[in-house]
Amino acid sequence: MFEHFSILFMAVPLLIIAIALVTALRAVRRLLQALSLTSRGARTTGTVISSNLQVTSHSSGSSGSRTTRALVETIEFRTRDGQRVRAIPAVSDVGMLDRTGMEVEVCYDEQRPDRFIAPKDGGSPNLLRLAGPILSAVVMIGFALFFLWFSRGILGFQAMM
């Protein structure tokens, strides 16, 4: 009777681990990109042209859906060679702070000026905000591994009966 449940007890945690790994890898990539632009990027001043509220709904199975909100800025600046760039930052740490009309410091890649960041404090990006998804993924992986270990014990016990 429990033979079919063993597949579910393995598949669900493995799916959670896969999703958490993808989330963690994306977050690490964004964090490394932000750190690289901060340390090696050219610096200039730009203006926040607009801030638009982006609302994203995530389905979370039986518990309903979760909604996330974030402000997405459009920033305009000029590069050292005078090229005008108007784009959305590659990585943002501003949260819900509306900086429309404000001048901000921009760190951009000189080979690809459309790849830039404009940290909230003007210096370096908020590492805690960027590392949050990594920490969440580690917790999810830990939970899924515990579930695998626990379910293995239960299924092993059921096989003995």
Quick check: 74 and 50 in contact, CB under 8 A? yes
Q: Which residues contact 72 (CB under 8 A, 6 or more apart)?
A: 51, 52, 53, 54, 88, 92
Q: Which of 15-19, 99-103, 118-122 has the lowest mean pLDDT?
A: 118-122
Is a pLDDT exceeding 80 seen at residue 41?
A: yes
The residue-averaged pLDDT of 77-97 equals: 90
Predicted confidence at residue 161, as pLDDT, reads 45
pTM above 0.75, yes or no: no
State the total domains in the chain: 1
Is a pLDDT exceeding 70 seen at residue 62?
A: no
Predicted confidence at residue 128, as pLDDT, reads 73
Nearest-angstrom CA–CA distance, 118 and 16: 33
pLDDT band at 119; cut points 50, 70, 90:
confident
Is a pLDDT exceeding 50 seen at residue 160?
A: no
Instruction: Check residues 84 and 2 and name the one with the higher pLDDT.
Output: 84
The residue-averaged pLDDT of 104-125 equals: 87
Predicted confidence at residue 10, as pLDDT, reads 80
Instruction: Check residues 111 and 154 and name the one with the higher pLDDT.
Output: 111
Quick check: 39 and 103 in contact, CB under 8 A? no
Is a pLDDT exceeding 70 seen at residue 1?
A: no
Burial 33-70 (b: 16+ CB within 10 A, else e): bbbebbeebeebebbbeebeeeeeeeeeeeeeeeeeee
Whole domain around residue 76: which residue ranges?
3-160
Is a pLDDT exceeding 80 seen at residue 13?
A: yes
Three-class secondary structure assignment of the chain: CCHHHHHHHHHHHHHHHHHHHHHHHHHHHHHHHHHHHHHHCEEEEEEEEEEEEEEEEEECHHHCEEEEEEEEEEEEEECCCCCEEEECCCECCCCCCCCCCCEEEEEECCCCCCCEECCCCCCCCCHHHHHHHHHHHHHHHHHHHHHHHHHHHHHHHHHHC
